[in-house]
Each structure stands twice: as C-alpha cells, then as structure tokens.
A and B are shown apart, each in its own frame.
Chain A
Amino acid sequence: MKALAWHGKHDVRIDNVPDPEIVNSRDCIIKVTSTAICGSDLHLYDGYIPTMKAGDILGHEFMGEVVEVGAKSTLKKGQRVVVPFTIACGSCYHCGKHQYSACPNGLPADNQDIAQELYGHEMSGLFGYSHMTGGYAGGQAEYVRVPFSDVGPIVIPDGVEDDKVLFLSDILPTGWQAAEYAQIEPGDTVAVWGCGPVGLFAVQSAFLMGAERVIAIDHFPHRLELARRFGAETINFEESATYEALMEMTGGIGPDAVIDAVGLEAHGLFVDNVIDQIKASTFLGTDRPHSIRQAIIACRKGGRVSMPAVYGGFVDKFPLGAFMEKGLTLKTGQTHVQHYMPGLLNAIMEGKIDTEFLISHRMPLTAAPKGYDMFKNHQNEVTKVVLKPGMTN
C-alpha cells in the first residue's frame, strides 16, 4: 500500500509498504477514506519529537471502511468508522472512569518506560506519533491496523459525508473537552487563546454550553474571521494589547473562564521543543508558555483555566502567585476521545456543530508531502488539509 512516511526533518514521502494484517483478535483493518494533517503533525515534520524512526507512518485523524476483522472485533466488514487517536482498551481502571487517554493497555510495555520517567506514569498509545507513544503506524495511509476495534471506532450512519464526521477522531472532542473543562455556566464570558481547529471548536462548544460571550485571540486574520462567524468577538494580538483589551471588554472583571488552545493540538510529548521555546521566550509573540501565563493573569478572580494546549516538559515563570491569590482552578489533559464521540456525532447530525467550515484543502494521499509544506508555510489560509486516498488527480 501507499503511506506517508517520515524520513527526517521536513522530509516526508509516499512510500510503498506491506499492507497491515490482523495481529490481535480485537483488531480490525480499515481502508482509509479520509485522513487529516493535524497541527501536531507539524511538530513531527519539524523534527521536534524524539523517538521517531525513518519510515514511521504518520497520521492520527482518520476514518474509513472496515475491510477485515479479528475474531473478537464487534465491527462488520463494510461499516464506515471514525477512529479515535487515543488507543484505549475499555476495560482497565482508567477506561472504567472514561479517562481513555490514561489507558496503559494500548501502549506496549517496552514503550512505557520513557513516560514513566518523565511524568511518573505511562500514557495511552497513539497512532502515528513516535515510538514513545507506541510506534503505531498512522492513518495517512491506504490501510491501518486498529487495535481494540470493539471499543474505539464509532460507526457512522450511511449517507453522512466523511467531511462532516472526520474530526470526531481528535480535534472536535479536544475542543469540546476544553470547553467542558472550563466549567462554563450560562451567561459566562469565555476567552480562547488560539483560533486553530481546537480553539475554533472550543468557541462553538462554549456557546453551546451557555456562554454569553466568547472572546477569541489570534493573529491570523482569516482564523479570527472564522471565530467571528460563530459569534465570537476577537482580539488580534498584533493589533491590540491582549490583557488590556480583555480588561476593557469585560469591564475590569476579566473572563470567567480562559482556554489556552495555542500552538499545538492536544497531544504529543514535546520536551525538547518546550524547553527550547522557554529558553527563547521573552514574553513576546506566540510562544506557548506565554499564552498560559497571559490566560492566568487575565482570568477573573475565582475563575477557571482550561488548557487543551500541549505542554511536554517544564515551564519557568509560571505565575503560581496569581494562580493561588486569585483562587483559580486549572483542568487539562489529553482528550478522552472515546467518551465524547457518541454525543458529538449526535450534535453533528442535529446540525448543532459545524465541522466542514474548517477544511480549506482536499487532496489525494499521494499529495501529502505538498500538504505538509502548505500547512506549515501558509497557516492563515490553510486551516485544515484532508487527504483522500481514493481521490485521483
């Protein structure tokens, strides 16, 4: 089959590799019909993620048709499914609490050592995202082996377009969880840092959860325009001073809840990246520690901080004093995708959530290297690239 493989910094290629086969009895094999390039894939592309090996197949946002099932899979050939990017077993202590991204059973035993050293505990396995997260082949390919297919993938009803439901795999649940973690109450004012896919879905989710006002912060005019389309007010941080603007727009009280969705969509382990950025940080621009610091400083007293943005290592100058003195609450974490998929599929079907607005480019899988280049270098216009293995041109 053809697959998009990583070969080094800014070097991704379409390789011919053997088709995947059933290995464990709960596996299924899907034939990919749509797969997206995620913002976090750019960090693989930029060579920031350790434990990558040449030939690793990328992609963790994908869906397709079931073409083969193991003896214990509950899926049937021919069904269309969206696959969660987190590989979770459904039967451990954490899965029992619906904390799927904490499931240790999808991560091979030998790969658990690094996270245990870094974080004190291992995390779940992920598709196409380095050997630290399991070394699983990803979905930017014609076929994918999907473990735990009896509990992970969600079946999509006939007649519903791929483009409507593809983002159930990652960014929609991530944006939704971010809003949920902000514990929004009716009438709240919510500020969202970052109008990437996760931020934009957090904007929509916040309104659905009863927020009266959402203030979206970014510097790409097109992305701010998308936020405005959903009813958000906007701050372009290159045009206006963010903290001062937020205080004036909220009469000095500040937002009830703040969401840091800057930079990276919510997964990945970017130790080197984060440490480098902290070293370079001068409280300017878009570096990630800056956004969480600013969010904490701007948040109202007694307010809530939600952090879907990824942090992998250590930060300095964390405003712990402001955090304590103002009595804030912080909630964060990788997305428990499986927990949110059924409800969000319903919300899409009922027309409550718009997903297709995000897609700016559709191209064949074979054009994926060009897709990576475009996504990296034209972030204003290129909001989301969806690859279609079946598309010819």
Chain B
Amino acid sequence: MTDARDDAPLSTSKRSGGAEAAIESLAEGKGSSIVGRSVTINRPVSELYSYFRDFSNLPHFMENVVSIDVRDPTLSHWVVKAPAGATVAWDARVTREEQDRLIEWTSEPGADVPNSGRVEFRDAGARGTVVTATIAYDPPGGIIGKAIAKLFQREPAIQARRDLRRFKQLMETGEIATPAMNPKQFGEMGL
C-alpha cells in the first residue's frame, strides 16, 4: 500500500487525525484545536526573528493582546482580550528555540486558555521570509465557546490571520494600515 500523505502542512489536513498530529509535532503540545497560517514578509529572516523573539514587541501588531510581561528569557505573562469585554491570562514558557528558525511555546498550568504553538521563519529568496504560525489551543467553553468567540471576532483563527497581516505591514512599511482620520480614532480602533 502506498502512503496517501502529501506535502501539504498538517494544519490543512482534511483527515480527522490532522490536528492531533500537528499538536504532537510540538515540543509540548497542549490543546485540541489547531490554527495554521503562513504569510510572506519582504524582510530578512534575522530581522523578523529578532523582532518577534522580543515578546514585548508583540502587542504592537497583536490586536487582542492587552499586555505581555517578559519575566525572564523564557517566561512571559500574557493578558488577552476575550469576548464581551473580559480578559484571559496565562504564563507562556518557551519550550524550544532555534535562532532565525523557530520559537515554540506552551502555557503553564493554570492558564485560562491552555495553548501552545510554534512560529517558524523560512528564507523564501526573492520573496523575503515565510512566517508560519501554528497554534494549538483549548477553546474556553468548547465548541459553543468557539462559536461565541468567532461572533466577537476573538476567535484564534481570525486573530492569527489578522495579526500576521499586521506583522507583515509593520515589518514591510514601518506602520499599520488604518483608515483613521486622527490619532485618537486610531487608538479607539484597537491599534
């Protein structure tokens, strides 16, 4: 029998075991749902990696992140917006990192939303760098919670793709696109 597996990422798998396999590929995978998303950024790998590895930079383009408190090189405390004005929090620990290649993390016990993931950086020649985020998480409130989060546009899949777009904009243009007419309006729009 020949192996039916192709070269597509596990996050795009139609098979039932795809998410589990993707989560297993993480150093310390946690969570039952998986989000995978890639974006091409026209900047060198090293520049993108350095910016991202300094987690205090992430709120600049992650809309839902209220704050990230970097406690030591591998431990940080995250406060993130949740549906209906609430916030959720967790401690994230870096579980694996390879300079200019990848960063993996997992949430510590007691997290409001247990999660883990990996961000990879891959040289794409003339196109720049492909950045791939793979996030595994347990949606609070299970399937219904996921639907509610989606309704409030705080669903991780929506957030991941929008955050990666903003990361691209910030790195390529030095700013984040906005139709705001003045700085106050820009502030009110979230970023």
- Residues of A at under 8 Å CB distance from B? 17-18, 20-26, 72, 87, 89, 91-93, 96, 104-110, 112-113, 125, 134-137, 145, 147-148
Evaluate contact between B165 and A23: CB separation under 8 angstroms. Answer: no
Evaluate contact between B175 and A25: CB separation under 8 angstroms. Answer: yes
Nearest residue (CB) in B for A108 is: B177
Evaluate whether A109 and B169 lie within 8 angstroms (CB atoms) in the complex, with A18-B182, A136-B179 already known. Answer: yes
Question: Which residues on A sit within 8 Å (CB–CB) of B181?
Answer: 17-18, 20-21, 23, 137, 145
Nearest residue (CB) in B for A107 is: B177
Nearest residue (CB) in A for B166 is: A109
Q: A25-B175, A91-B42, A92-B173 are in contact. List 12 more A-B contacts (CB 8 A).
A: A24-B176, A72-B174, A87-B177, A93-B42, A105-B172, A108-B178, A108-B179, A109-B63, A109-B162, A110-B153, A134-B177, A135-B179
Interface residue ranges of B83-121 to A (CB < 8 Å): none
Neighbour of B165 across the interface among A91, A109, A147, CB < 8 A? A109
Evaluate contact between B182 and A148: CB separation under 8 angstroms. Answer: no
Neighbour of A23 across the interface among B40, B158, B183, CB < 8 A? B183
| Alpha-carbon gap, A72 to B168, bound state (A) | 19
| Alpha-carbon gap, A23 to B180, bound state (A) | 7
Neighbour of B183 across the interface among A17, A18, A21, A108, CB < 8 A? A21
Grouping DSSP codes into helix (H, G, I), strand (E, B) and loop, the A interface class, with mixed when no group exceeds half, is: loop
Q: 6 closest A-B pairs (Cβ-Cβ)?
A: A109-B165, A21-B182, A135-B179, A24-B175, A109-B162, A89-B173
- Residues of B at under 8 Å CB distance from A? 40, 42, 63, 127-128, 153, 158, 161-163, 165-166, 168-169, 172-183, 185-186
* A25 → chain B closest CB, angstroms: 7
Q: Residue among B158, B175, B182, B183 with the most chain A CB within 10 A? A: B175
Neighbour of B186 across the interface among A17, A23, A91, A137, CB < 8 A? A23
Q: Residue among A105, A106, A145 with the most chain B CB within 10 A? A: A105
Question: Which residues on A sit within 8 Å (CB–CB) of B175?
Answer: 24-26
Evaluate contact between A110 and B173: CB separation under 8 angstroms. Answer: no
* B140 → chain A closest CB, angstroms: 23
* A127 → chain B closest CB, angstroms: 10
Evaluate whether A105 and B169 lie within 8 angstroms (CB atoms) in the complex, with A26-B174, A26-B175 already known. Answer: yes
